[in-house]
């Protein structure tokens, strides 16, 4: 078939010319082939530093550039291809080596193929009978991850993101503490109190709202100058709540904190949890990936003492979104906490296999996405050593960046990085010349949003900013992606200076 004919084919072809409706597969091959080609081109363009990270437009403008309306009549496959073009045109290239906006970046090809196979074998993760390969795969990977954190036995499951893993951990602790919650609800109990650091992720506060504790009962423990939870303040706050007749039950330590990248002191926190009989959870959604690196795993020292650990391979391990694991030390608790034994799905008298492999009742969800295949395939492709190497590259880039920040005029490092977050300020010469005053602070506060606007519109760089505690707005650079180099770190600083020196 000539390419002319093929083009004609697609302009007069519709979804019914594709599998499973069509009897032949040539239109399917042509259509899938063309989409694949566009995706590979997109990845290639993402990898080219001379391209923009994004062609950014505000929502109302963007809506005019896209044909988003839905109609009664089907559109031709050719038209669908043109939609693919415009989607890719305006998508943020998160695989671009100058994309550093959040705690994940890059598009790993082996994980991408895993995700593609996942979609092609479209299934749900609740029972073994419909996901046999993926259920045994998930259990195998979870066991490996438990070994890595140092849990001898235990349980675990993948959840749709770190926030949900954290929320599940709190629910699990609540169940352990008062199993009656499950049937009777929260009525008539003493206020249950959860503790986490003031720099912890906001999902813990949301967990308080969602699980009926109330956000005020997610107590914020002070952090030290490095951003780590202060055990002395944790103890003080536990005692205060006990004195009020409240019931402390749950402590979350963080590894690493979202903005500052600090790892909390696990040994000391664990000792306090043991003393007061509290559940210790570690939110290592962001920084848990350092466990893969013999050089950096010491940051997680003592994590085996926790009762549960949340760990997102889609962050520091560079897997694709979403990929989040909750590891639990005590076996059987996930099932006990969540199960309702829906008899239409989890029949106990199945004759095909041991129904313990129907893991779907270990979560509060019904359907669960297959997030394991992309992780497993990536791990197979790189081996643990390959992942370790990539984690080390991320750390090396951050160390280099922090050194450059210290060397350059008009840049100020806020904290020595512990993980791969580098927090710094750019102080334009005009503002640097001002005497310290509230007016100077106010003007500095406005610098990162203005620079962010300029670099995003220029399409040269994606980087985040925020305030934290006593600090006004500052930049937070993160490193995850392994194809990023020291030169990219220089570029980040050059670009921030270029866009901010006149402010």
Residue among 161 and 428 whose Cβ is closer to ligand PLP: 161
The answer to whether the beta carbons of residues 219 and 241 sit under 8 Å apart is: yes
**CB-nearer residue toward ligand PLP: 52 or 476:** 476
For the CB of residue 395, give the shortest distance to ligand PLP in the complex, in Å.
17
Q: How far is the CB of 384 from ligand PLP (least distance, A)?
A: 22
Report which residue's Cβ sits closest to ligand PLP: 162
Residue closer to ligand PLP (CB basis): 150 or 160: 160
CB of 183 to ligand PLP, least distance (A): 29
Q: Helix 203-210 vs helix 162-177: angle between axes, to the nearest 10 degrees? A: 50
User: Closest CB to ligand PLP among 142 and 499?
Assistant: 142
Distance CA 428, CA 322 (A): 38
Q: Extract the tokens encoding 86.
A: 């415009």
CB 76, min distance to ligand PLP, A? 38
Tell me the CA distances in angstroms from 308 to 54, 130, 341, one per residue in order: 38, 28, 24
Residue the block writes with tokens 């350092």: 290
Cβ of residue 282: shortest distance to ligand PLP, in angstroms? 10
Closer CB to ligand PLP, 258 or 308, in the complex: 258
Q: What is the smallest separation between the CB atom of 402 and ligand PLP, expressed in angstroms?
A: 19
Nearer to ligand PLP, 127 or 257 (CB): 257
Contacts of 353 (CB under 8 A, 6+ apart): 128, 129
The pair of three-digit structure tokens given for residue 430, joined into one six-digit string? 């005009």
CA distances in angstroms from 207 to 150, 301, 337, 413, 452, listed in the order given: 26, 26, 16, 33, 31
Decide whether 208 or 500 has the Cβ nearer to ligand PLP.
208
To ligand PLP, the closest distance from the beta carbon of 287 in angstroms equals 7
Beta bridge partners of 311: 284, 325
- Residue ranges that bind ligand PLP, judged by CB under 6 A: 103, 161-163, 166, 201, 203, 254, 258, 283, 285-286, 312, 324
Closest C-alpha among 20, 32, 42, 118 to residue 86: 42
Minimum separation from the CB atom of position 5 to ligand PLP (A):
47
Measured at the CA of 234, the angle between CA 145 and CA 209, to 5 degrees, comes to 70
What's the min distance (Å) between Cβ of 252 and ligand PLP?
Answer: 9
Cβ at position 450, least distance to ligand PLP in Å: 25
DSSP code of residue 481: -
Q: How far is CA 115 from CA 83, 119, 292, 384, 390, in A?
A: 21, 6, 22, 20, 20
With respect to ligand PLP, which residue has the nearer C-beta, 162 or 231? Answer: 162
Which C-beta is closer to ligand PLP: that of 217 or that of 324?
324
* Residue pair 308/252 in contact by the 8 Å Cβ criterion: no
Burial of 439 (0-12, 13-18, 19+ CB in 10 A): exposed
Q: Which is nearer to ligand PLP, 78 or 198 (CB)?
A: 198
Rounded Cα–Cα distance for residues 237 and 233 (Å) = 6
> CB 314 → ligand PLP: shortest distance, Å?
7
Other beta carbons less than 10 A from residue 303's beta carbon: 26
Task: Pick between residue 13 and residue 203 the one whose CB is nearest to ligand PLP.
Answer: 203
């Amino acid at each position: 078939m000539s390419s002319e004919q093929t083009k004609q084919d697609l302009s007069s072809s519709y979804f019914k010319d594709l599998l499973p409706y069509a009897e032949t597969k040539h239109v399917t091959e042509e259509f899938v082939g063309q989409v694949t080609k566009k995706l590979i081109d997109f990845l290639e363009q993402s990898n080219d530093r001379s391209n923009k990270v994004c062609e950014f437009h505000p929502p109302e403008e963007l809506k005019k550039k896209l044909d988003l309306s839905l109609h009664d009549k089907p559109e031709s496959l050719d038209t669908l291809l043109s939609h693919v073009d415009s989607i890719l045109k305006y998508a943020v290239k998160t695989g671009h080596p100058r994309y550093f906006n959040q705690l994940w970046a890059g598009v790993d090809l082996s994980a991408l193929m895993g995700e593609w196979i996942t979609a092609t074998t479209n299934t749900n993760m609740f029972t073994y009978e419909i996901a046999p390969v993926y259920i045994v795969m998930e259990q195998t990977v979870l066991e490996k991850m438990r070994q890595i954190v140092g849990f001898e036995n235990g349980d675990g499951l993948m959840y749709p993101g770190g926030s949900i893993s954290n929320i599940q951990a709190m629910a699990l602790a609540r169940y352990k503490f008062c199993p009656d919650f499950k049937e009777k609800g929260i009525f008539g109990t003493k206020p249950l109190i959860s503790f986490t650091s003031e720099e912890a992720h906001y999902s813990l506060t949301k967990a308080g709202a969602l699980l009926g504790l109330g956000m005020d009962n997610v107590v914020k423990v002070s952090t030290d100058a490095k951003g780590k939870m202060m055990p002395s303040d944790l103890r003080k706050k536990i005692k205060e709540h006990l004195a009020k007749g409240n019931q402390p039950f749950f402590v979350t330590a963080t590894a690493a904190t979202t903005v500052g990248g600090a790892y909390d002191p696990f040994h000391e926190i664990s000792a306090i949890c043991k003393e007061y009989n509290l559940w210790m959870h570690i939110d290592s959604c962001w920084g848990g990936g350092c466990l893969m690196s013999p050089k950096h795993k010491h940051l997680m020292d003592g994590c085996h003492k926790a009762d549960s650990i949340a760990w997102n391979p889609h962050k520091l391990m560079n897997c694709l979104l979403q990929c989040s694991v909750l590891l639990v030390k005590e076996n059987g608790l996930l099932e006990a906490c969540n199960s309702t034994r829906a008899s239409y799905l989890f029949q106990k008298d199945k004759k095909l296999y041991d129904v313990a492999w129907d893991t779907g009742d270990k979560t509060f969800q019904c359907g669960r996405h297959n997030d394991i295949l992309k992780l497993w395939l990536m791990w197979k492709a790189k081996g643990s050593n390959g992942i370790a190497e990539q984690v080390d590259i991320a750390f090396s880039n951050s160390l280099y960046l922090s050194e450059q920040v210290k060397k350059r005029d008009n840049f100020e490092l806020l904290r020595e990085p512990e993980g791969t977050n580098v927090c710094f300020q750019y102080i334009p010469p005009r503002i640097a010349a001002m005497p310290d005053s509230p007016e100077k602070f106010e003007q500095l506060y406005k610098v990162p949003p203005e620079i962010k606007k300029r670099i995003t519109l220029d399409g040269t760089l994606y980087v985040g900013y925020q305030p934290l505690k006593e600090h006004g707005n500052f930049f937070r650079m993160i490193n995850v992606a392994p194809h990023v180099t020291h030169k990219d770190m220089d570029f980040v600083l050059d670009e921030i200076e270029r866009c901010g020196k006149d402010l």
